[in-house]
Structure 1
Amino acid sequence: MKRTPLLAALAAAATLLAGCMGSAGTTPAADGPPVRGGNLTVAVPTDPQSLDMVANPGQVTAQIGNMMYEKLFEVDRHFVARPMLVDTYTTSPDRLAYTFKLRQDVTFQDGNPLTANDVVASLQRWQKSHRTGQLVTPDIAAITAPDQATVVIGLKRPRYPLIDELAGAGTEIYEAKNLVGLPATGFGQDKAVGTGPYKLKSWDIGQQLVLQRYDGYKSRSEEDWGGQAGAKHAYLDTVTYKVVGDQDALINGLQTGQWDHAMPANDQYEQLKANPNLVVHNLPGGNENVVIPNFNPGSKFADPRARQALNLLLDKPAINAATGGSKDLTIETGAFASPDNKASYSTAGESVYRQYDPARAKELLAEAGITTGATIHIVTTNSYPEFGKWAVLIQDALGKIGLQTKIDTFDFATMLGTLTKDPGGWDITTLFFDSSLTSPAQMPALTLGTLNGSSSPELDGLLAEFNASTTPEQAKAVIDKLQAFTWKQLSVITLSQSKLWAAYTPRLKGYGDFYRVFWNSWLAA
């Protein structure tokens, strides 16, 4: 299936990286001396379909890819960008030139050394084929390699969030030779080669994927950064990712020891938390749960009155209660950033989020020409159970005011393709977004224009104002404006923020409760 840059950005949003550490659990240092060897079995909800993080960075692709590939910068446990493939860097006084010196001991998993040409080729592909890269590109004059150890990014104008963006999805560094002449679907298994601590061993499509330690990996020395940054020891021989799409099978497998780690649906939280044979722990931050109305001609929500009506029709507390599992996991806020994400969290638009008036919603729909008996087309996925549940609850709300609903359910990748194949052929879709991002160019809630037609000169102006910021205070003031504007035009309707969590065997040690990052983990005897 052809993948567009926007689909890549939306899929990246479902990687669910977010916020700050949970308050429970043990630290890796408290787990005793590491044990080298063994296999960790991890249940994942869907096959990654591709290991190309630009062409198809869905949740599973991204989290497996993070074990294989690295960037110039990576985020630590607090989502601060830290050097990874960069040794040192400088910024010119006018903030128009960034000079990066690369680490000299880094090799790809085929033994070839990392060079500046590889970095330039990877970042130029990011500019062309990834939504964030496309939004950054107007500010970039050139990306060059003065020598094989140096990369220079020259800017046309200062760009406040550039380092954060270089630590974001799509900036993974690949060998330049493997990026030549790629189709839109990206590279195949034979070119899935990175500089990370694990490499691809085998892949039984739809069943399982196995990574094995890359013995030539040269680690950074920083032990305290955590997250995706710093030292990576690769204690495990292999990590096996089992595709388990059925939630009952997922839970049974956890309880019987078929897999060692999983990230189940929220409605399984209380059951697993009560199991003394499992560790259940919050992961960093959470995600923004959203309903997306379609602005494109042909959609019933192209009329702003219809979007206002949809917001008034959704009983958000009831929807959250029905689909959010434990109250420990749900934060009722209209923000598109986690409350733990201090740089981007805002309360702007909160009064619009709190609105609920089905009678007025029906009036507004009628004014927009949507009357009793009309059919609303919802597109959703069965890859993430919450999405389908939200769709059914929206269907119920629409039915109560006399509207019909057609729900089409696909796997995640097909759903994304369906949304762009016929821009005006759908009315509503459901997604969740990364709530930890500090650059608006990385935030799908602000960059959905090529999907649902919500672009506008006013939005573009606010994004430019953010990029021109020189202080965190200036940047935060623009975030407030951006969120207020989002709630004004209703490009997305946020239902809540959800905390993330995992359930895993007590034998898993050294795990920093950071999604599916296992390079510093081991299995106790």
Structure 2
Amino acid sequence: MARHGFSKRSFLIGSAASVAAVSLPEFARAAPRALTAVLESEVVILDPHATTAAITRTFAYHVFDTLFAMDTAGTIRPQMVDRFETAPDGLAWTFTLRDGLTWHDGAPVKASDCVASLKRWAKGDALGKMLLAAVTAIEARDERSFAITLREPFPLMLDVLGKPNAPIPAMMPERIIPAGEERIKEIVGSGPFRFKADAWRAGDRMVLERFAQYRPRAEKPDFLAGGKVVNVDEVVLKTMPDDATAATALVAGEIDYMQYLPFDWLEKLEKAQGLKVMALTGLDMFQGNFRLNHATGPFADKAVREILWKLVDQTEMLEAIGIPDRYVIKNCPSFFMCDAPFSSADGAAGAKLAIAEASAALKKTAYKGEPVVFLTVAGSISQTAGAVLASNMRKAGFTVDEQVMDWGTVLARRAKKDGWSVFPVYANGIDMMSPLTHFYIGNNCVNYAGWSCDAVISGKLAAYAKAPDPATRKRIAAEIQVEAYKDTPSVMWGQFSRPAGYRLRLKDIVQSSFPIFWQLTLDA
């Protein structure tokens, strides 16, 4: 990735209007310009360091801010940082914060806050741990600058500090950071929106209000980077019981934005007046995977795992789900997404539906008919993908025990090393785009559900992290993929878009699978 340091450029927001509004009597104030959105789920965990949940990441990018951020091209750009310097030997980095940054409680953002935030975040993040392994010290120099000193060069420094993968390296005041492992109890960030704790109604709604003291960068907004100028007073995150209810509300104008449109509603929504369906491509698409349990059960045997590559046809699965062709990349062989920087077909030659071959191969393994415990989420698109695979597995000679439950139960079940064999899931392309961020490759040989551990992949991940340039990383990523096809940490079931929908009164909305509510404006 190209990287650029930026000189400081102030972007002052006049405060006279907000001061005048405070002095007006209640009856004279204008109603807030509010946007109502239905996201993928309710925001339950508010601590941005505490979970890999995408919904918490969405919340965090609005309420908190980061030192660096990714733009549309994948470039990591300064966000809270004004400028940074690197020593010629690559062992010392110095970062200076932008002037005038303020926490939502009115206190100034200090370098010591950022040091404390980085240390807390890094302890629980795979890439953060990799950074800590190379670090000798992270310390504040003065109120606006801090330094990171390394024992060995760490070429991925900016990629890690600006990574968009949850848990994101969000900055927070040092005073709210707990001494132990518990979650933060106050939600205080420095982002463009402020969380209104007194307006939060669990199971119903959450309100984010514009933070008047936020100072955007002077650059144009570009995905997660640039100037986050907020043109609405409030964003109301509404919880609705099901997709059909939310889609009906969108058509009726009761909500303005819906993150995931139901596929069986797409044709109707594309023709509805006053609506726009957001079609997304590339890294804004999703990758479906079957995650396998390497610790216990039939898939502890590598030879048995490999057979699944002959039982998956992505076109068959996506058609069964009902995803229109225009929202699909057919038969994508790349672990790291197609139409993406590390796209590759290396290692994929044997990944073709061939049930008879799979059956013959299975008979040569040590598999003796043990049940494959297949966890699926009721009513989800991944349940449909799982049903197709389960059917093909039975044809090949597997004994399959499909168990349907809610996602929370899947999370609890998968945390144990026994009692399950496989579950289907899908993840955002931004999370699956590189070896270090891909859930099932980047978490190789760590305590992560599925417990895949391949020594070759471990060595190549270390080499990838030390690679000096993008071309070398791309080569190593292809080598990792070849090994992943052999070890089978997961099996892809397709790359597809989950279109968002919004009312046409929303103007200049960021076209992204990440819900982004800065930049846009509202018509009356």
TM-score tier by shorter-chain length is: 0.7 to 0.9
2-structure distance, mates of 1:380, 1:134: 31
1-structure distance, mates of 2:108, 2:408: 34
Paired position in structure 1 for 2:76: 81
* Superposed displacement of residue 43, structure 1: 0.8
1-structure distance, mates of 2:327, 2:311: 24
Structure with bigger RCO (C-alpha 8 Å, 6+ apart) = 1
Letter in 2 for 1:358: I
1:361 pairs with one of 328, 334, 358: 358
* Superposed displacement of residue 460, structure 1: 1.4
* Superposed displacement of residue 410, structure 1: 4.3
Q: Does 1:156 align with 2:154?
A: no
Q: Does 1:431 align with 2:425?
A: yes
Aligned to 2:320, the other structure's residue is in SS state helix
Aligned to 1:405, the other structure's residue is in SS state strand
* Superposed displacement of residue 439, structure 1: 5.0
Alpha-carbon deviations, 1:386-443, whole Å to 9, x = none? 22222222222233345443334444344223211x2122100122233235653222
* Superposed displacement of residue 74, structure 1: 1.0
Q: CA RMSD in A?
A: 2.2
Aligned to 2:496, the other structure's residue is in SS state strand
1:260 pairs with one of 247, 256, 267: 256
Alpha-carbon deviations, 1:203-258, whole Å to 9, x = none? 211221111111121111112x4211111221111111112241221221211112
Paired position in structure 2 for 1:417: 412
**Native 8 Å contact 1:160 1:466 kept in 2:** no
* Superposed displacement of residue 463, structure 1: 0.9
2-structure distance, mates of 1:118, 1:133: 17
Aligned to 2:430, the other structure's residue is in SS state coil
* Superposed displacement of residue 459, structure 1: 1.2
2:214 pairs with one of 217, 237, 262: 217
Q: Does 1:340 align with 2:348?
A: no
Paired position in structure 2 for 1:295: 294
Q: Does 1:400 align with 2:399?
A: no
**Does the C-alpha gap of structure 1 residues 351 and 464 become closer, same or farther in structure 2, counting only changes over 3 Å?**
same
Q: Does 1:520 align with 2:516?
A: no
Aligned to 1:441, the other structure's residue is in SS state coil
Specify the structure having the higher radius of gyration (Cα).
2
2-structure distance, mates of 1:54, 1:222: 27
Aligned to 1:399, the other structure's residue is in SS state helix
Alpha-carbon deviations, 1:294-353, whole Å to 9, x = none? 110x221010121112221223221122125111111121212333322x2222223233
1-structure distance, mates of 2:322, 2:511: 21
1-structure distance, mates of 2:253, 2:90: 53
Moved more, 458-467 or 239-248: 239-248
* Superposed displacement of residue 63, structure 1: 0.9
**Native 8 Å contact 2:362 2:397 kept in 1:** no
Aligned to 2:418, the other structure's residue is in SS state coil
**Native 8 Å contact 1:324 1:330 kept in 2:** no
Correspondences of 1:447-486 after superposition (within 5 Å): 447-449=442-444, 450=447, 451-486=449-484
Alpha-carbon deviations, 1:49-85, whole Å to 9, x = none? 1111221241221112211111100112333211111
**Structure 1, unpaired ranges of 5+:** 1-34
1:378 pairs with one of 374, 380, 390: 374
**Does the C-alpha gap of structure 1 residues 409 and 151 become closer, same or farther in structure 2, counting only changes over 3 Å?**
farther
Moved more, 282-291 or 361-370: 361-370
Aligned to 1:82, the other structure's residue is in SS state strand
**Native 8 Å contact 2:33 2:234 kept in 1:** yes
Aligned to 1:493, the other structure's residue is in SS state strand
Paired position in structure 1 for 2:24: none
Correspondences of 1:197-208 after superposition (within 5 Å): 197-201=192-196, 202-208=199-205
Paired position in structure 2 for 1:280: 277
Correspondences of 1:144-183 after superposition (within 5 Å): 144-168=139-163, 169=166, 170-183=168-181
Alpha-carbon deviations, 1:352-394, whole Å to 9, x = none? 33x222123223334444345x422122334x82222222222
Moved more, 498-507 or 103-112: 498-507
TM-score (norm 2): 0.86
**Native 8 Å contact 1:64 1:516 kept in 2:** no
**Native 8 Å contact 1:36 1:522 kept in 2:** no
TM-score (norm 1): 0.86
1-structure distance, mates of 2:366, 2:274: 56
**Native 8 Å contact 2:362 2:396 kept in 1:** no
2-structure distance, mates of 1:268, 1:349: 37
Aligned residues: 481
**Native 8 Å contact 2:104 2:190 kept in 1:** yes
Moved more, 277-286 or 213-222: 277-286
**Structure 2, unpaired ranges of 5+:** 1-29
* Superposed displacement of residue 173, structure 1: 0.6
Letter in 2 for 1:139: A
2-structure distance, mates of 1:134, 1:516: 28
**Native 8 Å contact 1:333 1:350 kept in 2:** no
Letter in 1 for 2:189: G
2-structure distance, mates of 1:220, 1:345: 32
2-structure distance, mates of 1:368, 1:245: 46
Q: Does 1:113 align with 2:108?
A: yes
1:490 pairs with one of 466, 488, 491: 488
Paired position in structure 2 for 1:44: 39
Letter in 2 for 1:361: A
1-structure distance, mates of 2:337, 2:462: 23
* Superposed displacement of residue 198, structure 1: 0.6
Q: Does 1:125 align with 2:130?
A: no
**Native 8 Å contact 1:447 1:455 kept in 2:** no
1-structure distance, mates of 2:507, 2:180: 40
Aligned to 1:147, the other structure's residue is in SS state coil
2-structure distance, mates of 1:187, 1:66: 16
1-structure distance, mates of 2:135, 2:489: 28
1-structure distance, mates of 2:423, 2:138: 37
1-structure distance, mates of 2:107, 2:408: 33
Aligned to 1:351, the other structure's residue is in SS state coil
**Native 8 Å contact 2:41 2:239 kept in 1:** yes
Correspondences of 1:47-86 after superposition (within 5 Å): 47-86=42-81
* Superposed displacement of residue 89, structure 1: 0.5
Query: After TM superposition, which residue ranges in structure 1, 4 or more long, deviate above 6 angstroms?
Result: none
**Native 8 Å contact 1:308 1:361 kept in 2:** no
Aligned to 2:118, the other structure's residue is in SS state helix
Letter in 1 for 2:464: F
Letter in 2 for 1:308: E
1:98 pairs with one of 81, 93, 97: 93
Moved more, 263-272 or 237-246: 263-272
Aligned to 1:114, the other structure's residue is in SS state coil
Alpha-carbon deviations, 1:88-109, whole Å to 9, x = none? 0011111222211111210111
Aligned to 1:391, the other structure's residue is in SS state helix
Letter in 2 for 1:380: T
Correspondences of 1:134-153 after superposition (within 5 Å): 134-153=129-148
Paired position in structure 2 for 1:504: 502
* Superposed displacement of residue 37, structure 1: 4.7
**Does the C-alpha gap of structure 1 residues 269 and 452 become closer, same or farther in structure 2, counting only changes over 3 Å?**
same
* Superposed displacement of residue 117, structure 1: 1.2
